[in-house]
Structure 1
Amino acid sequence: MATRKLEIMDTTLRDGEQTSGVSFSVSEKLTLAKLLLEELNVDRIEVASARVSEGELKAVQHITSWAKESNNLNKIEVLSFVDRGKSIQWMEDAGAKVQNLLTKGSLNHLTHQLKKTPEQHFNEIKTAIQSASDAGIASNVYLEDWSNGMRNSIEYVFEYLDFLSELNVDRILLPDTLGILTYTETYKYINQIVHKYPKCHFDFHGHNDYDLSVANVMEALKAGCHGLHLTINGMGERAGNAPMASVIAVINDFMPDIQINVKESSLHKVSKLVSTFSGFSIPVNKPVVGDNVFTQTAGIHADGDSKKNLYFNDLLPERFGRKRKYALGKTSGKANIKKNLQELGLSLNDDELKKVTQRIIELGDKKEIVSKDDLPFIISDVLDSNTFTQKVFIRSYVLTHAKGLKPSTTVAVEIDGKLFEEHAQGDGQYDAFINALKKIYDAKQLKLPKLVDYAVRIPPGSDSDALCKTIITWNDGKKQFKTRGLDSDQTVSAIKATEKMLNLIDNE
């Protein structure tokens, strides 16, 4: 099958920076420029708008200085304006060699924003392109609001394209500025243009206002466009731009006749860094780069994956430098747990696996996800519970903590089938709980062990907040021993450790 080369232009540093609240520093822009060109291997990057600020000028100067040394200068593009040469002077100061000239692609914009005739606008554009050429700057031309132009003033668009096709322009950039196109319109309009102007290079620049940007990109490619404008994580004004990761995956999986240079394996890495620099968080369900998109939660899916990968598709996480995960929570089954145990090099018998599964389901009712790193703690807690016969049950408790008042606890304990209840205060909630217990055991003329040490841990490496393990060391006058409690709440985990202590001394 014959292939055609497609250019990918990333505009995260220009159009993506128009995301509300996002502003990259000079060093961040330089770092991302290097990463986009050398790590992700996009063909071109649009890094700034001319004349925006002193900081923007400094950022572009740093980028072009690096790009000149690394032979990437022709890949650095700047949005410029029809402004009697001011943008060209700015670009010369910045060291940039490619302008993306912003012009009007709809009669509506031209008439009401610029208040000019097509002839006036075209003459100014011709002058701007000639000035750029005289300064050694190559020109691409944006047709702002082109999509509305095709809908409402198609005669103007073709009049303009007739004019542009005779100028010294490298690329004509067709933006769906307001994200209004359907995929059928995208194909129709671009197909018309590509066939009418076979010697011109056309880029499609899609926005995502109706969540159709990826579909529109597919149709633009089918219609024969030569380049795409994308942003990392779909950043951009309003609903953002067509997202890089999704589009690259779609091209590679569904459009084998199209050849691109972008490295799939770097998408996740670059996505994370852009998210860090921008403060623009990635939705967990964002295709390809979201935290949850390669995580199986339902036990039936994990079971199917163990049986000839029944729940796999072509979006294998390894393509993007990632791994498949099996979430642990209330919808987990034994298959999920087995998958995680295999990664940890652990094994359990059927009875132990059943008990661990039940404990994870209980925790899942409180928290959404239990991480793989929590598993050893859960296993330890479950197996530890098998070392005694439970006769003492802490049936209920009320913990109170109010400003200006000492913490207090009311606790109800069942011992050998009888219920005892007491109330006490303390220096903290757990101290109040222990004081209430002492009252109960003093009334039974029983002595509680002395608390020697109290340690709280979370699972090493865990990135969840599901579990807290409390380890309490006790001394009964003859020996020291430890009990452990596991829960999503620190005080509750301490109470569970204490309940185990009560059972151990009752079993002696």
Structure 2
Amino acid sequence: MEKIQIYDTTLRDGAQAEGISFSTEDKLDIASKLDLFGIDYIEGGWPSSNPKDSSFFDSAKNSRFTHAKLTAFGSTRRVGLACSNDPSIKSIAESGVKCASIFGKSWDFHVTDALRISLDENLEIVADSISFLKNRGMEVLFCAEHFFDGYLHSPDYALSVLEAAESAGADWLILCDTNGGTLPSAVEDITAIVVEQFRTTVGIHAHNDADLAVANTLAAVSAGASMVQGTINGIGERCGNANLCSIIPNLELKMGLKTNIPDLSQLTAISKFVSETANMTVGRKLPYVGTSAFAHKGGIHVSAVLKDSRTYEHIDPSIVGNERRILISELSGNSSLKAKLGELGIDLDDEDGKRILQRIKDMESQGYQFEGAEASFELLIRRMKDGLRPPFRVEGFRIFVDVTEANVSSEASIKVFDVSGMMEHTAANGNGPVNALDRAVRKALERFYPNLKDVKLVDYKVRVIDGKEATGAKVRVLMRNTDGFDSWTTIGVSTNVIEASLSALLDSLEYKLLKSKEATAN
């Protein structure tokens, strides 16, 4: 079998996801990364639908892709318009790319009730649109919208639409599960019928409304489809599209099929890049590329994985560019703790292990969670095992809140001592009490430790631990900081959000100083 072609629609279908808005520069950056990754087709957008997509295709004319075919997307011609007068078809032909992807109706219900035209007229529209683009030298993918629903309702008509597309010269017949509700068994059976009946190569485009997009894609490939369409991380409208970050490794590693992806170990990196560009976090539990995909928490699991990773890992995480993570919690055993400390270069005897595990369990019963706060975890271990002491001490602080008709402002004053006993007493304003306290602490400590100026807050989360306590509930604060090279997360827990925030902040700054000291020593 020939290699499975990978068609990415992140820049078009993915951009239709709620909360995502790619700029022209974002789209160019992502397209470049996808090309280097080895994607065969990159759908750049719908040239006539909005100014950004038009700008993207204009800018892309100056870009050189080493592998991928940049593709313009659009619909078949409008009812009552010739292709030469149809803005969508014309914009595709004039986009400057050599490949077009157009969708047309294949469900008779849509033809009669949405377009309100005859079934034969729809066939003419499909054939005219494809012929128009083929006559201009373009490779044409015909996307049969709602194909599986259409086939289940009226198989003869759904197949007649594909016949019209093939007769007009379509290079690909793409079967779309547009509503995302078809079961894999039906997808496989119907795809097999299409593959057997048509000479034109077949592809699959699945949506994830029933959480079956990846399964449906693989089922179609099993039935003979040779192109898969999807998005990075499965982003897309409603529940999203088929996730290429799951499909590609499943094709290669599980089904033994080949793609044109030269280095699968770049998969996690491309997943993170698209997420960061879209200003969204990668789903922790995404298969293959999520941070939890190879994370182990239960003590029995960790013990087994350390003996042979095959016991609880279906692949070596490095194959897809991910890594194993050992999580520490009240469920952990001594083997989990030793494995985690081995990552940090800390030796541990059994007595220390028992004492530290008990301390972790006690703190987690109070609301702490160290799975996502590994900097605070390392500080806890070093304090208990090595007697690590903070290089500074907060003597006290005050927060003032001024309320006027115009706004609400906050001021924090704080006293901080360094290890030699020198005191810095300072104050700072902020948008709120936590922001003011954050600024005051940093302002004071930067006098003693100038390298703390490099530390920037990049994420701040507050979680109510027990909502039943209402405004008196404990809160958990997670704070992520970076120095421009590394980033780390710390935790604080209290019934007072300011106290919890201060605890997380002080841990973060202490961690930075610890790592700077270690770097200097090495």
| TM-score, normalised by the number of residues in structure 2 | 0.73
Task: Give matches, 1:32-111, under 5 Å.
Answer: 32-38=30-36, 40-67=37-64, 70=65, 74-83=69-78, 84-85=83-84, 86-111=87-112
Deviation by residue 1:342-363 (Cα, 9 ceiling, x = unmatched): 2222212222222222223333
Task: Give matches, 1:83-482, under 5 Å.
Answer: 83=78, 84-85=83-84, 86-197=87-198, 199-256=199-256, 258-262=257-261, 263-309=263-309, 311-365=311-365, 366-370=367-371, 371-383=373-385, 452-453=422-423, 463-466=488-491
How far apart in 1 are the matches of 2:503 and 2:177? 56
* 1:453 to partner: Cα distance: 4.5
| Secondary structure at the counterpart of residue 360 of structure 1 | helix
How far apart in 2 are the matches of 1:312 and 1:215? 22
Cα distance, 1:462–1:373 mapped onto 2, change above 3 Å: farther
Deviation by residue 1:94-150 (Cα, 9 ceiling, x = unmatched): 212211122101101111111111221222332222321332222211111111101
Larger mean Cα displacement after TM superposition, 452-461 or 229-238: 452-461
How far apart in 2 are the matches of 1:345 and 1:239? 42
Contact between 1:213 and 1:242, CA under 8 Å: does it hold in 2? yes
**RMSD between aligned alpha carbons?**
3.3
How far apart in 2 are the matches of 1:358 and 1:93? 68
* 1:384 to partner: Cα distance: 6.4
Gaps of 5+ in 2: 390-396, 403-410, 425-443, 446-451, 453-480, 494-498, 507-522
Amino acid at match of 2:76: F
Cα distance, 1:95–1:428 mapped onto 2, change above 3 Å: closer
Deviation by residue 1:153-200 (Cα, 9 ceiling, x = unmatched): 111112222222222110011100000100111011111111111x11
Contact between 1:296 and 1:302, CA under 8 Å: does it hold in 2? yes
Cα distance, 1:462–1:377 mapped onto 2, change above 3 Å: farther
Contact between 2:492 and 2:504, CA under 8 Å: does it hold in 1? no
Contact between 1:101 and 1:140, CA under 8 Å: does it hold in 2? yes
Aligned residues: 422
| Secondary structure at the counterpart of residue 99 of structure 1 | strand
Cα distance, 1:169–1:348 mapped onto 2, change above 3 Å: same
Contact between 1:24 and 1:278, CA under 8 Å: does it hold in 2? yes
How far apart in 2 are the matches of 1:161 and 1:196? 10
Gaps of 5+ in 1: 388-398, 405-426, 432-449, 469-486, 495-508
Question: Higher Cα Rg: structure 1 or 2?
Answer: 1
Cα distance, 1:183–1:355 mapped onto 2, change above 3 Å: same
Amino acid at match of 1:465: T
Amino acid at match of 2:384: V
Contact between 1:467 and 1:488, CA under 8 Å: does it hold in 2? yes
How far apart in 1 are the matches of 2:311 and 2:66? 45
| TM-score, normalised by the number of residues in structure 1 | 0.75
The match for 1:474 is none
Contact between 1:106 and 1:156, CA under 8 Å: does it hold in 2? yes
How far apart in 2 are the matches of 1:185 and 1:492? 52
Contact between 2:264 and 2:320, CA under 8 Å: does it hold in 1? yes
Deviation by residue 1:480-506 (Cα, 9 ceiling, x = unmatched): xxxxxxx96646999xxxxxxxxxxxx
Question: Which of residues 15, 18, 33 is equivalent to 1:17?
Answer: 15
Deviation by residue 1:409-465 (Cα, 9 ceiling, x = unmatched): xxxxxxxxxxxxxxxxxx99998xxxxxxxxxxxxxxxxxx9755888999956322
How far apart in 2 are the matches of 1:490 and 1:61? 50
How far apart in 2 are the matches of 1:207 and 1:364? 40
How far apart in 1 are the matches of 2:117 and 2:195? 28
How far apart in 2 are the matches of 1:29 and 1:53? 14
| Secondary structure at the counterpart of residue 216 of structure 1 | helix
How far apart in 2 are the matches of 1:103 and 1:361? 59
- Over the matched positions of the two proteins, sequence identity in percent amounts to 25
* 1:41 to partner: Cα distance: 0.6
| Secondary structure at the counterpart of residue 337 of structure 2 | helix
